[in-house]
Structure 1
Amino acid sequence: MLSVHQVIYERSGGAVGHRLLFGLPSLLLRTTGRKTGLRRTHGLIYVQDGDDLLVVASNNGDPAAPGWLANIRACPECEFQIGRTVHTAVATVIGPADRSYARRWELVNARLFGLYEKRQRAMTRRIAIVVLSSATERR
């Protein structure tokens, strides 16, 4: 479903697609491929945390982390689009050892009605949270 949603979001230039089912906000995350150097776009649900946005590298419960997470680790400078507005950002990957992880995990898990916690219990890898700190905005 997210892949169809992403296509609509991209093709409409952001006019359609910011809200998913149940009113969940989504963004388009644009990363640089660590091997190819090509731009990659990923439709993701996000949660606001003060001035930052949080996205979760759950990969729909897959045992392997999503490819975009490796891209972010290799090149934390990225872009995200909410509606028609594009932001440049710096991404920071946090895991359970980070002091802010537990608080942020509660935020993202509550926003998705406990789904992330359910996914976490079903896998051995710890799900990372990516903090997007916006640097600039353009339309």
Structure 2
Amino acid sequence: MAEKTQRTPGTPGAFSRWMQQKANARICRKIRRGKGGFMGMDVLILNTVGRRSGQRRETPVAWFADGEDARLIVASGGGSRHPDWHANLMARPGSATIELPGGEAVPVTPHRLDGADREQAWQRITAAQPRLAKYQDKSDRRYPVIRLIPR
């Protein structure tokens, strides 16, 4: 009988990852058809390149307006580590693009916010979506806030 490999605590299992992939693909199709909302949040497609695989990845992510053209995203995700898209984005920032509902891919430059910039952005984000503050309170890590600026 094949031996089961132990997964790291706080990381999703194979079935959970499969379900998330199916749900993400469905949301991406909706965004490309011009429908960009999910659970009361505006959603975009974040396109990255895998830091190890080099393969193109697409992830639906909630976004928040930041000035005229910039967008803020939060690396919340479940579990005790940052989501994979965050690691890919930070490892290969020059390959990042976003797709807004019904739009073409736009190259962006990601900036991880720290200090007062992060706190101000976090206050605006949690005012718009209080559930994120509740998720943050239950987490053992501080959620990164990323500003995406069109290139």
Question: In which range does the TM-score fall when normalised by the shorter chain?
Answer: 0.7 to 0.9
Give the CA deviation at 1:17.
3.3
Aligned residues: 130
Change (3 A) 1:12 1:124: closer
Residue 47 in 1 paired to residue 33 in 2?
Answer: no
Aligned residue for 2:136, secondary structure, equals helix
The residue type equivalent to 2:90 in the other structure is: R
Give the CA deviation at 1:107.
1.4
Contact 1:80–1:89 at 8 Å: present in 2 too? Answer: yes
Alignment equivalent of 2:139, drawn from 114, 117, 123: 123
Distance 1:13 1:101 in 2: 27
Partner of 1:89: 108
Contact 2:35–2:102 at 8 Å: present in 1 too? Answer: no
Residue 7 in 1 paired to residue 28 in 2?
Answer: no
Distance 2:83 2:112 in 1: 13
Partner of 1:132: 148
Contact 2:31–2:43 at 8 Å: present in 1 too? Answer: no
Gapped runs of 5+ residues in structure 2?
1-18
Higher strand share: 1
The residue type equivalent to 2:124 in the other structure is: L
**Bigger CA radius of gyration:** 2
Give the CA deviation at 1:14.
1.0
Identity percentage of aligned residues: 23
Gapped runs of 5+ residues in structure 1?
none
The residue type equivalent to 1:119 in the other structure is: Y
Aligned residue for 2:37, secondary structure, equals coil
| Structure 1 residues 63-82: aligned runs within 5 Å | 63-77=80-94, 78-82=96-100
Change (3 A) 1:13 1:102: closer
Change (3 A) 1:45 1:2: farther
Residue 107 in 1 paired to residue 110 in 2?
Answer: no
Contact 1:93–1:128 at 8 Å: present in 2 too? Answer: yes
Contact 1:2–1:43 at 8 Å: present in 2 too? Answer: no
Aligned residue for 1:131, secondary structure, equals strand
